Amino acid sequence: MIEINQLNKKYERTEVLNDIDLSVSEGAIYGLLGSNGAGKTTLLKIISGLLKQNNGSVKIDNSDVFEQPNIKEELQFIPDTPFFFPHYTIQQMGDFYQSCYSNWNQDRFYQLEKIFKIDRKEKIHTLSKGMQRQVSFWLALSAMPSYLILDEPFDGLDAVIRKKIKQLLIADVAERNMTIMISSHNLKEVEDICDQIGIIHQGELIIEKSLDDLKSDVHKIQVAFSKEIDSSFLDEFTCLHKEKRGSIHLYIIKGQTFEIDQYINKYQPIVYDRLPLTLEEVFVYEMEGVGYAIENILV
Ligand X SMILES: Nc1ncnc2c1ncn2[C@@H]1O[C@H](COP(=O)(O)OP(=O)(O)OP(=O)(O)O)[C@@H](O)[C@H]1O
Describe the crossing of helices 90-100 and 129-142 by its angle, rounded to 10 degrees. Answer: 30
Q: Does 201 bind ligand X (CB under 6 A)?
A: no
Q: Does 34 bind ligand X (CB under 6 A)?
A: yes
- Per CB under 6 A, the list member of 6, 11, 111, 243 interacting with ligand X is 11
Pick the closer one to ligand X by CB: 39 or 145: 39
Site string for ligand X, 148-187 (x = CB under 6 A): -------------------------------------x--
Q: How far is the CB of 32 from ligand X (least distance, A)?
A: 9
Q: How far is the CB of 77 from ligand X (least distance, A)?
A: 13
Pick the closer one to ligand X by CB: 9 or 209: 9
Pairing of strands 147-151, 2-11: unpaired
Q: How far is the CB of 53 from ligand X (least distance, A)?
A: 13
In whole angstroms, what is the distance from residue 167 CA to residue 193 CA? 9
> Number of C-alpha atoms within 13 angstroms, CB side, residue 85?
10
Q: How far is the CB of 35 from ligand X (least distance, A)?
A: 7
CA angle 213, 218, 224 (to 5 degrees): 160
Contact set for ligand X, span 39-78 (CB under 6 A): 39-42
27 CB-near residues (< 8 Å, 6+ apart)? 173, 177, 178, 179
Give the binding range for ligand X (CB under 6 A) out of 38-46, 81-89, 247-255, 264-272: 38-46
Which residue type sits at 187? L
Alpha carbon 243 to chain centroid distance? 31
Give the binding range for ligand X (CB under 6 A) out of 32-40, 138-146, 231-239, 247-255: 32-40
Number of shown-chain residues binding ligand X (CB under 6 A): 11
Q: Does 130 bind ligand X (CB under 6 A)?
A: no
Pick the closer one to ligand X by CB: 141 or 298: 298
Binding site for ligand X (CB under 6 A): 11, 16, 34, 36-42, 185
